[in-house]
Amino acid sequence: MKSRGSSGIAVVGSGYVGTVVAACMAAIGHEVVGVEINQEKLTKLQSGSSYFYEPGLDERLRAGIEAGLLTFTDDFETAMAGSEIVFLCVDTPPGANGHPDVTNVTAAAKSIGMAMHSPHIIVTKSTVPVGSGNWLTSTIESVLPDDVEPDAFSVVSNPEFLREGSAVNDFLYPERIVLGGDDPMAVRKVAAAYKPILDQTFPGGSPDSRPSLVKTDRSTAETIKYAANAFLATKISFINEIAEICEWVDADIDEVAHAMGLDSRISSKFLQAGVGWGGSCFGKDVEALAATARAHGQEPMILQAAQGVNLHQRHRLVRKLQQHLRPLRGSRVALLGLAFKPNTDDTRDAPAITIARELLERGAIVRAYDPLVKQIPELPNLQTATDAYSLVERADAVVLLTEWDELRDLDFVDVALRMRGDLVIDGRNAFDADRVRAAGLVYEGMGRGVKPRNGKTEPW
Ligand code: UDX
């Protein structure tokens, strides 16, 4: 066995997380090789463009490739020979009983182990169940080549906190970097790889706002990731429950949230009421943390409530439509936005999917428009329009589900002229309610000073 390998970085898995890690590690000066086994995705990445939408990512990919710092391969031997630190960024889709499915992580770990001929540090960025560091170590150990000693590698947990739509900035300008591992030397080396970010010394760095470095053990690092996401998801569910109460007492959730957020103990972030959270992380992570609690005989009461309240928002929105459009069957409903949030083409666990499905099941005629999403795989029959104005043509109701900038600023007078009905449901509390009403339309948000016509919900 060689005593030392290259000092480069390998990134295994080139999805939403891995591609950002690879491009940004190259941007701060490292030699990086990204691994992708899907040929179609690999070809795209090699040509310097990602196969999903993420602002600023393609520029970074191209710059890294042109600088000779970034390459992509499907060959683990090449990647392992060119690296000392391996970031494991393989996806962990939802699996059975709430636990994430670690099939892809297991396969990647085996490929890494089989191609390991020199000491390596394996850094887990994939969100794996708490305690996975030990399981991962055993998996890699079980396939190591004969000339490699079992202690030739260490596993360090380095959870990611990247938001889709701002992942490049989140990586380069984080608030904290968490490293969990039992081997201090390995943790030190990973911290050294992050040094340009920790010190904000890379070109374009922000030396006045340097991130905190949290060094801890592996299980704690893994738990930090779950706890952070579960807290944010719970915070959103909390404000959505308050929004519903606001509707009963005729209070305005925007003002409530604003005033709450002025208290720095609460903070204004993640207090935006609406149709609730979606995406690939919150639902899966809350479920996984709840499953971990249950596996130990603990009842995860707050986590369960956060999930329940979130699902309730989707039903609540359908219910609002039902109350106004009587009957819902045969009514034309125009959905504005399909992605789970703006600036992404991702529809995983998007509220729009549940809402569109429920409306279709109830016989409504549903069409949708999203600036980036042109089809929902789960709903092949959902028709989409080419722009917002042609979407609202002869609609009985218009529903905002993703607060894209281009949708916030619609010309509501034009919208009103095109519609058959006059109902606007703002599922993200993103429209200027006065502008909507000034166009002669009926406005209803989520906990936002609801004043139904004639004080009652009436058929029209
Ligand atoms: C999240 C975490 O923020 C990130 O740290 C983690 O590592 C991955 O999961 P992401 O899923 O990309 O990131 O999106 P995020 O911006 O957190 O939004 C998640 C969902 O919550 C979206 O559907 C968004 O619309 C919703 N949301 C967010 C609200 O409903 N209200 C808010 O105040 C904030």
Q: Is the residue at 226 inside a domain?
A: no
Residues with CB under 6 A from ligand 1: 160-164, 229, 232, 236, 270-272, 274, 276-279, 281-282, 340-341
**Peptide bond before 377: cis, by omega within 30 degrees of 0?**
no
* Domain contains 457: no
Query: Same domain, yes or no, for 181 and 316?
Result: no
Percent composition of the chain: helix, strand, coil (DSSP 3-state, to 5):
45, 15, 45
Residue nearest to atom 11 of ligand 1 (CA): 279
- pLDDT (0 to 100) of residue 127: 86
Q: Based on the fold, state whether residues 178 and 236 are members of the same structural domain.
A: no
Tell me how crowded residue 93 is: count the other CB atoms within 10 A of its CB: 12
| Nearest ligand 1 atom, CA 350 | 23
- Is there a catalytic annotation at residue 89? no
pLDDT tens-digit series, residues 16-52: 999 999 999 999 999 999 999 999 999 999 999 999 9
Distance 232 CA to ligand 1 centre (A): 8
Q: Which residues, 6 or more positions from 89, have their beta carbon under 8 angstroms from its beta carbon?
A: 11, 12, 13, 14, 15, 17, 18, 21, 125, 126, 160
Q: Does the residue 272 lie in any domain? A: yes
**How many domains are there within the chain?**
2
Q: What is the pLDDT of residues 53-91, one digit of tens each?
A: 999 999 999 999 999 999 999 999 999 998 999 999 999
Residue type, 313: Q
The pLDDT score that the predictor gives to residue 450 is 53
| Percent share of the chain, pLDDT over 70 | 96
Phi, psi of 420 (to 5 degrees): -90, -40
The whole domain housing 30 covers 9-214
In this structure, the residue with its CA closest to atom 26 of ligand 1 is: 277
Smallest CA separation from ligand 1 atom 17, residue? 163
Query: DSSP assignment of 392-430, as one string?
Result: HTT-SEEEE-S--HHHHT--HHHHHHH-SS-EEEETTS-
Which CATH number goes with the domain that contains 168? 3.40.50.720
285 and 157, same domain (yes or no): no
Residue 288 lies in a domain: yes
Looking at the fold, whether 202 and 238 belong to one and the same domain comes out as no
pLDDT band for 95, please (50, 70, 90 cuts).
confident
- Residue 96 is given by DSSP the state G
Q: Are residues 303 and 154 in the same domain?
A: no
Does any domain span residue 184? yes
Nearest CA to ligand 1 atom 15: 163
What's the maximum distance between 2 C-alpha atoms anywhere in the chain? Answer: 81
* Same domain, yes or no: 198 and 278: no
* Atom number, ligand 1, closest to the C-alpha of residue 285: 9
Q: How far is the CA of 162 from the centre of ligand 1 (A)?
A: 10
Kindly state whether residues 146 and 250 are assigned to the same domain. no
The Cα angle at residue 172 between residues 167 and 174, in degrees rounded to 5: 85
Residues 263 and 164 in one domain: no
Residue 229 Cα to ligand 1 middle (Å): 9
